Structure 1
Amino acid sequence: MSTIAFIGLGIMGSPMAVHLQNAGHDVVGYNRTPEKTQPLIAAGGRATQSIADAVSGADVVCVMVPDSPDVRDVLEGEGGVFANAKPNALVIDFSTIRPDVTVELAEQARERGLRLLDAPVSGGEAGAKNAALSIMVGGSDEDFEAARPVFEAVGKTVVHVGPSGSGQTVKAANQLIVAANIQALSEAVVFLEAYGVDTGAALEVLGGGLAGSKVLDQKKGNMLSRSFVPGFRIELHHKDLGIVTAAAREAGVAIPLGSLVAQLMASATAVGDGGLDHSALLRGVERLSGRERS
């Protein structure tokens, strides 16, 4: 078993760190908000007051923070991972960030005698709590195999998709597909309700056919109850779609649907829905249709 430093104990990082501790690893956590370390401590892990203390002596360093600048701060910053991790430590970035930033950081890691994998995850809060995340990994074959015990403790579907940056590219595609599905489901719900259909029954039968999806299964409850407690916040999905549209432009690829959904996500953020679950795209369809609820 490994000594693991886990940086970032939010909605996703906290249950992941707990799973690693329960799997027998020695997990040391750090979070800017100290009270968020409590679930890890309750599971038998430890907490520190700084990134430097957390990573000192760790075999593996896991990072789960919101955006590219946050990852840079954690890795490159004064008192960060690159300056304090022991030689040959394995750094696993579970965050969702720009592929080009990952490639740059992986090169910096190599220059410092460290090994970096980009390993963004899909599955939201439920996947993190149930250790059922889908993990798309970029990096070398050797480093992927070395990290397998970590991945198997937190994920269900773990796939090595290519060299550094590949995991982030696949995650960008994932976020495009999920956003388009949520928007389509939102429009279907408002459409069904406009005709007075038993919407719950309608979604049940739709879920059994070609229209069925994990998005429908996992998000229909939120939409039917209008309960948008965040499993994955709109403001984060907005950030992710910015990554998708920028990367598509660089590659010379047209993503007309992706660009439209990105604008709808931006609108939801602008009107104050950014802190809600991304299933709250439904509220945007209601606004456009003149069917807003109080």
Structure 2
Amino acid sequence: MTPSSSFHIGFVGVGRMGANMARRLKDRRFSLTAVYDIDQAKTNSLARELGCESVSSPGRVAERADTVLTVVTDDAAMRQLFNPAAPESLLAHAKDRLFINCATLSPSVHVEVERLVEQRGGRSLEACMASSITQAREGRLYLMCGGGRDTFERAKPLLEVLSERLRYIGPAGEAAKVKALVNMVMNCNTAALAEGLGLGAALGLDLTMLREVFAQTGAHSRVLETDGEDMQQRAHDCYFSAAHAAKDSGIAVSLAETVDLELPLAKATYEQYRRLVALGKGELDKSAVAELTFKDRLSSN
């Protein structure tokens, strides 16, 4: 039996990341049985493309698949999917199912979901993604996993097709902690870069030259490579939204509060992204934080 033939896969949440993960698995000859999204038009379109069933409830996905990948936006959406009181939730058909949950959520939610699923005879694994839309399509995700080690091993043949780097972190919730810190640091770096370029512009410096100097000195970062030119050119097509940046920085700040630790940089970054969302720019890429730091752009905010 090939690895692909041992999974019958459904997706809940087929936005940019979920849809491209599904396409990747289809390319590698995995069996996709059903897809669901709150956007029914999006669900129907992807189902036609992949040759699988478009369904109208999460529960139907779990009924049709033995492995369900969830790619949703936040804690509230995840709790709704695994709501014990909802007859059409994923828990309606949790027995003998494997749920692989890919969203960036509060660690406690992953622990809660694992408990609910295991009570009903299923398995749950968090597979937190630190990657982009393009990497999802090409099977080059960086995946950090949390849950039972045996559950991780069960999911591994599928996750290896989706990922370039796959790492088991520990029990449920642990990978979510690591992912929160990854995004917290990334968001701080993004906000800092926006301030550096914004100040450079206000001082009359050539920003292309400045980015080159940053890249050759201690100011270099991965964010400089991915976001620097976009900040300069005001090209904020969304790869990772400002709204998600706000949510993820908020998770990290909340975690710090649980251990009575002060994180002034993370808090300041969180407030910047909250401000961006409040201005109606939450669906722009996180690089749009530069709109708050360039002097000639502030009047439009």
Alignment TM class, shorter chain as reference: over 0.9
Whether 1:193 and 2:201 are equivalent positions in the alignment is: yes
Q: Letter of the 1:79 partner, please give it.
A: E
For 2:49 and 2:299, how far apart are their aligned partners in 1?
A: 41
Number of paired residues? 291
User: 2:101: which partner in 1?
Assistant: 93
Paired residue secondary structure (1:292): helix
Q: 1:66 aligns with which of 61, 73, 79?
A: 73
Shift of 1:40: 5.0
Distance 1:283 1:136 in 2: 32
Matches within 5 A, 1:40-189: 41-76=48-83, 77-85=86-94, 87-189=95-197
Gap runs ≥5 in structure 1: none
Which letter maps to 2:76?
P
Q: CA deviation at 1:293?
A: 6.7
Q: Which amino acid aligns with 1:25?
A: F
In the superposition, relative to structure 1, how do residues 293 and 189 fare at CA in structure 2: closer, same or farther (>3 Å)? farther
Give me the whole-angstrom Cα distance separating, in 2, the residues matched to 1:211 and 1:46.
Answer: 49
Q: Which residue identity is paired with 1:262? A: Y
Q: Distance in 2 between matches of 1:104 and 1:54?
A: 21
Paired position in structure 1 for 2:265: 257
- Which residue of the partner structure matches residue 11 of structure 1? 16
Identity fraction in percent: 28
Show CA shifts across 1:212-259 (max 9, x none): 222111112321210112111111211112211111101222212111
Indicate which of 204, 207, 216 corresponds to 2:224: 216
Secondary structure class of the residue paired with 1:134: strand
Could you say which residue in structure 1 is the equivalent of 2:26?
Answer: 21
The normalised TM-score by structure 1 is 0.93
Which segments of 5 or more consecutive residues in structure 2 lack a partner in the other structure?
Answer: none
Measured against aligned partners, the alpha-carbon deviations of 1:105-126 in whole angstroms (never above 9, x if no partner) come to 1111111111111112112323
The alpha carbon displacement at 1:291 in A equals 4.6
3-state secondary structure, aligned to 2:48: helix
Amino acid of the residue matched to residue 35 of structure 1?
Answer: A
Structure 1 residues 218 and 293, CA gap change in structure 2 (3 angstroms): farther
1:36 aligns with 2:42: yes
Distance across 1 between alignment mates of 2:23 and 2:179: 24
Asked whether the equivalents of residues 233 and 278 of structure 1 are also in contact (C-alpha less than 8 Å), the reply is: yes
Residue range with higher mean Cα deviation, 157-166 or 220-229: 220-229
Distance in 2, matches of 1:157 and 1:253, equals 31
Q: Which whole-Å CA distance do the structure 2 matches of 1:47 and 1:270 have between them?
A: 34
Paired AA for residue 51 in structure 1: P
Given that residues 22 and 43 in structure 1 are in contact (C-alpha distance below 8 angstroms), is that contact kept between their aligned partners in structure 2?
Answer: no
Is the partner of 1:272 in helix, strand or coil?
Answer: coil
CA contact (8 A) 1:14 1:36 kept: no
Cα displacement string for residues 150-178 of structure 1 (whole angstroms, at most 9, x for unaligned residues): 22222212111110001111111011111
Alignment deviations for residues 39-63 of structure 1 (CA, whole Å, 9 cap, x no partner) = 4532444422222222114221100
Partner secondary structure for residue 143 of structure 2: strand
Task: Report the TM-score, using the length of structure 2 for normalisation.
Answer: 0.91
Q: 1:237 to 1:291 in 2, by over 3 A?
A: closer
**1:21–1:45 contact (8 Å) kept in structure 2:** no
Bigger drift between 225-234 and 168-177 goes to 225-234
Q: Encode CA deviations 1:4-54: one digit per residue, 9 max, x unaligned.
A: 110000121110111111121111211111222324532444422222222
* CA drift at 1:290: 5.8
Amino acid corresponding to residue 171 of structure 1 in structure 2: K
